[in-house]
Structure 1
């Protein structure tokens, strides 16, 4: 299988958008890397600093944890809304808006004297999640098919952080200069990337010359995402049948139904209902949510807790656990993601996604069968760096671009980006009660639950179909 001569043709790129080559293409990719790093460093560098923030702002760690949860919630909403808005105002303009908002939020975090202002800054920073979706679409509209897959893999690799070392650097900055130094470093990245975008990213043509942004649909979908996020978090803490949890579930359903009804009546919807029903859209989103629910929870939660458990696990400290189980997959993914994009361009995006899920399932099964064998688990997590961080994440991001409706090129990338956050939170919430037992049986059950969810992700991927005339 092969992709069309230019991915842009598959998503409706305007004819006046130039295809960049040589140095201009390299400059564009480097600029987009800076842009997505402005978001990713916000996501990964702050974790070691949470206790320091709690002490300086005279609050507890539970309250400070909102700097992470609100950041990712804002990212889910910003990724959907701002990326779709770019169909009307242009990619370059939207990316500039995203980075300006991120800069304002970062400045607020640097000077914040209290938690409310810090949380406000984190919400503004989280909106910069749209940098990823915008980068994917800009690559598809500006580069040829020969380099699209590889460069998309490069951007996807950044989604795993700076080789797994960014959290470690965040800890060093906090210990030596205080947690605010993290935001100063991030602000430097944001300013440099903003200047680079203004100089390097082409203005191009406007993909949607008619219609207006569907702000009512965006509001209804955003409310649904907010309610869903709190449904997952409250379900994990208060119980899935607790009144507050059920209220959040009801809010999720009501607001999504409202979104559906709004979209049916709009001439320029956020995404048309007929597309939501199509096998180019909903199976992609379902595959993303289920994949993150299954595999992300294993790598970033269950295995990490198992490795630090002194009774049935390996008794490692937090730093050693991260070095053995988080850094390898991230580092391997940095190299594997670009290769996965190149391979998908040669063999087919859907085929490589399914192959990655099958291989990931095999690695997960080995972990579940031999959870007490530390060396075996480390090796399997490294394999997931190739199959999950490389093959699966790269192809699912690529399909989000290539299968997006022609009249709404940024719609599916935005929805797919929101699926990443939903899936990650849902997966951890589902397995948390089993791992909380701290027993070998609890950890094993959590692993098999994740395997079952990943199997559903594979099933969803089998339902993905390309549009007539596409070969994906």
Structure 2
């Protein structure tokens, strides 16, 4: 691989890392954030959701902006805005200021991420180089949550949770310089922004997440819960109608004409619904039940992270020998087995080593085998004019799964504990039930994979989908 390509890949991976990392870096810091800004447990969930919802909701608009205004320009704007809003979030004097800053962080990430992925596709056109580049990109995307937990725990225990936001500023400035220095200007074209589509999609997802979070906090009997859920469904249906009618939609519905691509998007959504929520519940269990510190709770995910990065070096050979579909299904089976076993051992008497250590390793291997094939299949046979929208849709599936999966499983957790002040035994039971919910999501991802890919695996091989 040429040196200039390595530099571009480094820029893209670093950009993706700080964006994904910020979705989890606050998790181990939640108790300190709550004390310093006087936030309740329910309001703390929005520290993550305000970021994730804005990120996922505006990704398609960000992808469209890259297509129309040039991907280098949008990547630079996204990185610059992300750095500024990170500084504001770290300086937040009130809860409201923090939540607004986190939402703008998510918007900035929505500009930078699809532009970076589209640049990766345009830079690495040779099959072997692209496979290696996507493997590294996918490993960073998947492991960023684990790294965020560790960094968040370290800063919380030894300095302050605010440092997790401040570090983005020097990194962002360095990345902005590298983008302007090493990435060439990309072409622009005329067109329109589907602003209403973006706004309606964000409102719909926010209403759905609010409905589940409100149910977790106030119960299913409250009219606000059902009104919010109904509004979310109606708004998302309206979004589909808007996309079907506008001249230049942010998400061309023709992308779903391919069963393989549709399966890749849905499979990623379901996998992340189950996988991301583990990063929330397991650290809480380690701290509240087993008495670990914030840093110890973050370090506990090293087996998971290490296994994911280890798979990055094996994926090229595995995909070359067995194809994307077989590797994907094997990875999902690993993830299901490890997560199911984890749900059964979580208790007051459980110990981290050796059982949790081994299971987190198995789960990390599974996750490390899943995301690269899903990325390749999600970009398969996409028209060059739709590459930005396709890359944006991959990330939309990822972020939507993060927010909605967590909202659903928080509801499962609260139903299981049935009290505002759970004992250690009750808390452990709630975490166990939530992890079991993760198993259901990942199993559904396996079912989707089977029905969308296995019946047509032979034609897919001829098209280069299984070996790309």
TM-score where L is the length of structure 2: 0.83
Partner of 2:118: 137
Distance 1:236 1:64 in 2: 13
Quote the Cα distance in structure 2 between the aligned partners of 1:405 and 1:149: 19
Is the counterpart of residue 381 in structure 1 residue 353 in structure 2? no
Greater helix fraction, Structure 1 or Structure 2: 2
Say whether residues 1:155 and 2:159 are aligned partners: no
Task: Give per-residue Cα distances to partners, 1:173-206, cap 9 Å, x unaligned.
Answer: 4555544433332111111111111112232445
Structure 2: which 5+ residue stretches go unaligned?
Answer: 419-424, 454-459
In the TM superposition, what whole-angstrom CA distance separates every residue of 1:105-152 from its partner, at most 9, and x where no partner exists? 123234444333333222121224333433322212111221222222
Residue 210 of structure 1, CA deviation: 5.4
| 1:459 and 2:434 matched | no
SS of structure 2 residue aligned to 1:75: helix
8 Å Cα contact 1:324-1:378 kept in structure 2: no
Residues 1:349 and 2:324 are matched in the alignment:
yes
Deviates more, 1:191-200 or 1:445-454: 445-454
Preserved contact between residue 270 and residue 444 of structure 2 (Cα < 8 Å)? yes
- The separation in 2 between residues aligned to 1:56 and 1:362, in whole angstroms, is 39
Deviations 1:30-65 (A, max 9, x none): 111222233234333334444444454455565455
Q: Does 1:245 align with 2:225?
A: yes
> Secondary structure, in 3 states, of the residue corresponding to 1:337?
helix
1:229 is the counterpart of 2:209: yes
Q: Does 1:188 align with 2:163?
A: no
Tell me by how many angstroms 1:325 deviates: 4.1
* 2:167 alignment partner, SS class: helix
CA distance, structure 2, for counterparts of residue 423 and residue 84 of structure 1: 21
Equivalent residues, number: 444
Is 1:363–1:384's contact at 8 Å kept on the other side of the alignment? yes
User: CA–CA distance in 1 between the matches of 2:192 and 2:313?
Assistant: 36
Partner SS for 1:267: coil
> Which residue number in structure 2 is paired with residue 359 of structure 1?
334
Q: How far has the Cα of 1:220 moved from its partner? A: 2.2
2:315 is aligned with 1:340: yes
Cα separation, partners in 2 of 1:420 and 1:237, compared to 1, 3 Å: farther
Distance 1:65 1:441 in 2: 20
Query: Counterpart of 2:395?
Result: 417
* Root-mean-square deviation over aligned CA pairs: 3.2
1:88 to 64, 68, 73: 68
CA distance in 1, matches of 2:328, 2:166: 38
Measure, in 1, the Cα distance between the counterparts of 2:91 and 2:274.
38
**Change over 3 Å in CA distance of 1:171–1:453 after alignment to 2:** closer
- Are 1:404 and 1:410, in contact at CA under 8 Å, matched by a contact in 2? no
8 Å CA contact 2:272, 2:405 repeated in 1? yes
Check if 1:329 corresponds to 2:285: no
Pairwise CA distance, 1:24: 0.7
